[in-house]
Amino acid sequence: MAEYSEINKHVKRYARRDKRAWADKVAHKAQLAAEANKLEELYQITKRLAGKLIMSQQAGVRDPTGRLLTTPQDQLTRWQEYFKDNFAAPLQQICTNTTQRTPETTKIPTGAPTMKEIKTAIKHLKLNKACSHDNLPAELFRTYPNTIVNILETLLRRYGIPVRYQVTGNKGLS
d(C-alpha 78, C-alpha 101), whole Å = 38
pLDDT at 25: 92
pLDDT at 140: 82
pLDDT at 168: 47
Positions in the chain short of pLDDT 70? 53-59, 88-107, 109, 161-174
pLDDT at 106: 63
The conformation of residue 61, written as its DSSP 8-state character, comes to E
Please write the tens of the pLDDT for every residue from 17-60: 999 999 899 999 999 999 999 888 888 888 888 877 666 555 67
Q: Residue 61: what are its φ and ψ, rounded to 5°? A: -110, 135
Note the pTM of the prediction, 2 decimals.
0.33
